[in-house]
A and B are shown apart, each in its own frame.
Chain A
Amino acid sequence: MDREQVRRWETQCIQEQPPACATGCPLHVDARQLVECVTRGDFKAGLAIIAGAVPLPLILAHICDHPCQAQCRRCEAGDAIEINALERACAGFGGTIASMRIPSPKSHKVLIAGGELSGVSAAILLAQKGYEVELFESGPTLLGSLRSLGETQLPKQAITADLDALSFLGVTVRCNTALPFPAGSAEPESLLRACDAVYFEGRVWPLPDTGSSLTLATLHAGIFAGSTLQQQSPIRAVYEGSVAAISVDRFLQGASLEAGRDNQGAYASRLYVNTKRLTAFPAVRTTEGTSYTKDEAQQEAKRCIPCQCLECVKVCEYLEEYGAYPKRYVRQIYNNECIVMGVRNGNRMVNSCSLCGLCTEVCPENFSMADVCLDARQSMVRKGKMPPSAHDFALRDMAFSQSDAFTLARHQPGFQSSQTAFLPGCQLSASSPQQVAACYEHLRTTMPGGVGLILQCCGAPARWAGDEEKFQAALSALDAAWSSMGRPRLITACSSCFKTLNEHLPHIPIEPLWPHLDPALLAKTPPEPASRTLAIHDPCSTRGVRQVEDSARALLGRLGIDVVELNEPGLTTCCGYGGLTLFVNPALADKTVTRRAQQSDVDFVTYCAMCRDRFAHQGKRAIHVLDLVFANVSSDPAARRDPGFSERRDNRARLKAQLLREVWGEEGNAVEPSIKLQISEDTRLLLEKRMILIEDVRRTIEYAESTGDKLESSTTGQSLASFRSGCVTYWVEYSRLGDELVVHDAYFHRMEVR
Chain B
Amino acid sequence: MSGSAGSPQVPPYICGKCKQALVLGKVTALYLGSEFPVELWRCPGCGKVYVPESLATGKMLRVEQALEDK
Binding site for B on A (CB under 8 A): 342-345, 347, 387-390, 690, 704, 707-714, 719-720, 722, 729, 731, 745, 747-754
A388–B55 Cα distance when bound, in Å, is: 20
Q: Are the C-beta atoms of A745 and B31 separated by less than 8 Å?
A: no
Cβ B56 vs Cβ A749 within 8 A: yes
Give Cα A332 to B54, complex, Å: 33
Question: Which residue in chain B gives the minimum CB-CB distance to A727?
Answer: B31
Q: Contacts A720-B50, A745-B53 given; 18 further ones with Cβ under 8 A?
A: A344-B69, A344-B70, A387-B65, A388-B68, A690-B57, A711-B12, A711-B16, A711-B22, A712-B13, A713-B12, A714-B14, A747-B57, A749-B60, A751-B30, A751-B64, A753-B27, A754-B30, A754-B49
Partner of A750, one of B27, B53, B64, B69: B64
Q: Which residues of B contact A345 (CB under 8 A)?
A: 69
Is the beta-carbon distance between A712 and B65 smaller than 8 angstroms?
Answer: no
Give the residue name and chain of the A residue nearest to B47 (CB): A754
Check A731/B56 contact, CB under 8 A, given A387-B68, A749-B51, A749-B61: yes
Query: Which residues of the other chain, A, contact B51 by a CB distance below 8 angstroms?
Result: 722, 729, 731, 749, 753
Taking a contact as CB atoms closer than 8 A, the residue among B29, B61, B63 that contacts A752 in the complex is B29
Min C-beta distance of A42 to chain B, whole Å: 40
Question: Of B15, B30, B50, B69, which is in contact with the most chain A CB atoms at under 10 Å from its CB?
Answer: B69
**A753 and B49 form a contact (CB under 8 A):** yes
Q: List 5 A-B contacts (CB under 8 A).
A: A347-B68, A708-B16, A711-B16, A713-B14, A722-B51
The distance from the CB of B29 to the nearest CB of chain A, in whole angstroms, is 5
In this complex, how many residues of chain B approach chain A with their Cβ under 8 Å: the count is 32
- B14 contacts A748, CB within 8 Å? no
Separation of A124 and B60 alpha carbons in the complex (Å)? 63
Give the contacting residue for B48; candidates A342, A690, A709; CB below 8 A.
A709
Neighbouring B residues of A711 by C-beta, 8 Å: 12-16, 22, 48, 50
Interface pair A747/B69, CB less than 8 Å apart: no
A731 contacts which chain B residues (CB < 8 A)? 51, 53, 56
Separation of A319 and B31 alpha carbons in the complex (Å): 32
7 pairs of A and B residues whose beta carbons are closest in the complex = A387-B68, A711-B13, A710-B16, A749-B56, A751-B31, A344-B69, A752-B30
A313 to chain B: closest CB distance in Å? 25
| Min distance, Cβ A508 to any Cβ of chain B, angstroms | 37
> A458: shortest Cβ distance to chain B, in Å?
28
Complex Cα–Cα for A93 and B22 (A): 76
Instruction: Tell me the smallest distance from the CB of B14 to a CB of chain A, in Å.
Output: 5
B56 contacts across to A, CB distance below 8 A = 731, 747-749
Q: Is the CB of B64 within 8 A of A389?
A: yes
Residues of B close to A750: CB separation below 8 A? 31, 64
**Chain B residues near A (Cβ < 8 Å):** 12-17, 22, 27-32, 38, 40, 48-51, 53, 55-57, 60-61, 63-66, 68-70
Q: Is the interface of A mostly helix, strand, loop or mixed?
A: mixed
A348 and chain B: residue at smallest CB distance: B69
Which of chain A's residues has its CB closest to B61's CB? Answer: A749
- Complex CA–CA separation, A1 to B14 (angstroms): 53
Chain A residues near B32 (CB-CB < 8 A): 388
Q: Does B68 lie within 8 Å of A754, measured CB to CB?
A: no
Residues of B within 8 A of A712 (CB): 13-16
Report if A719-B16 is in contact (Cβ < 8 Å); known contacts: A748-B56, A749-B60: yes
CA distance A207 to B2 in the complex (A): 82
Whole-angstrom distance between the Cβ of A584 and the nearest chain B Cβ: 11
Complex CA gap A708/B19 in Å reads 10
Contact partner, A704, options B16, B29, B66, B68, Cβ 8 Å: B16
* A712-B63 Cα distance, complex, nearest whole Å: 28
CB distance from A297 to the nearest CB of B (A): 48
* Chain B: minimal CB distance from A748 (Å): 7
Residues of B with C-beta under 8 A to A387: 65, 68-69
Q: Smallest CB–CB gap between B50 and chain A, Å?
A: 6
Which residues of A are found within 8 Å of B65, using beta-carbon distances? 387, 389
Q: How far apart are the CA atoms of A709 and B15 in the complex, in Å?
A: 8
A717: min CB distance to chain B, Å? 12
Nearest chain B CB to A631 CB, angstrom units = 42
Question: Which residues of A sit under 8 angstroms from B17, Cβ to Cβ?
Answer: 707-710
- Closest residue on chain A to residue B64 by CB atoms: A750
Select from chain A the residue with minimum beta-carbon distance to B66.
A343
Separation of A754 and B27 alpha carbons in the complex (Å):
6
In angstroms, Cα B61 to Cα A729, docked, is 12
User: Roughly how many angstroms separate A382 CA and B12 CA in the complex, as a whole number?
Assistant: 44
Are B29 and A751 in contact, CB atoms less than 8 angstroms apart? yes
Contact between A713 and B69, CB atoms less than 8 A apart:
no
Chain B residues, Cβ within 8 Å of A342: 70
Q: Which residue of A lies closest to B30 (CB)?
A: A752
Q: How far is the CB of A303 from chain B (nearest CB, A)?
A: 45
Minimal Cβ-Cβ distance residue in A for B21: A714
CA–CA, A690 to B57, complex, Å? 10
Q: How far is the CB of A143 from chain B (nearest CB, A)?
A: 61
Most B CB within 10 A of own CB, among A387, A388, A745, A751: A751
- Of all chain A residues, the one with the shortest Cβ separation from B36 is A751
| Alpha-carbon distance between A753 and B69 when the two chains are bound, in angstroms | 20
- Which residues of A lie under 8 Å from residue B55 when comparing CB positions? 749
Tell me which residues across on chain A come within 8 A of B63, comparing CB atoms: 751
Query: Are B13 and A713 in contact (CB-based, < 8 A)?
Result: yes
Q: What residues on B are CB-neighbors of A707 within 8 Å? A: 17
CB distance from B53 to the nearest CB of A (A): 5
Q: A389 near B68 (CB under 8 angstroms)? A: yes
Among B27, B30, B31, the most chain A Cβ lie within 10 Å of the Cβ of: B31
Contacts of A722 in B (CB 8 A): 51
Give Cα A707 to B17, complex, Å: 8
The minimal Cβ–Cβ distance linking A747 to chain B, given in whole angstroms, is 5
Tell me the bound Cα distance from A749 to B51 in angstroms. 9
**Nearest Cβ in chain B — how far from A365, in angstroms?**
31
**Considering the chains assembled together, what is the distance between the CA atoms of A713 and B11 in angstroms?**
9
A747 to B64: give the CA distance in the assembly, Å: 15
List chain A residues, Cβ under 8 A from B22: 711
List the B side residues contacting A745 at CB < 8 Å.
53
Q: Once the chains bind, are B28 and A754 in contact (CB under 8 Å)?
A: yes
